[in-house]
Amino acid sequence: MASDTDRPAPEALISKFEVDRLLKQDQSGRRIAILGAIDGQQGILTAERAAFATETPAVLQAFHAAITHVTNLGDNDIYRWYLASSGPDAGGQQPPDLKLNLIWPCTDSHIKKYSEQVVRMVTETPAIYRDHVRPYMRAKREEGRLNWVFNILEGRTEQEDVILRDEGRRYHDGAADDDNDDVDDDGFLMLPDLNWDRKTMGSLHLLALVQRRDIWSLRDLKKRHIPWLKYLRQRLLEGTVKMYPELEQDQLKLYVHYQPTYYHFHVHVVNVMLEAGATQATGKAFGLENLISQLETLSGDEDAGMADVSLTYFLGEASELWTNVYGPLKRGEKPLAA
Residue among 132, 257, 264, 266 flagged as catalytic: 266
Question: Under DSSP, is residue 128 helix (H, G, I), strand (E, B) or coil?
Answer: helix
What's the Cα-to-Cα distance from 21 to each of 18, 49, 188, 203, 225, rounded to whole Å? Answer: 10, 19, 39, 19, 47
Quote the CA–CA distance of 324 and 63 in Å, as a whole number.
37
205 is catalytic: no
Question: Under DSSP, is residue 133 helix (H, G, I), strand (E, B) or coil?
Answer: helix
Alpha helix locations (H) across the chain?
Answer: 10-16, 57-65, 108-114, 126-128, 134-142, 147-153, 226-243, 288-297, 320-321, 327-330
State the DSSP H helix or E strand holding residue 26, giving kind and residue range, or none if neither. Answer: strand 18-26
Active-site residues, by number, are 266
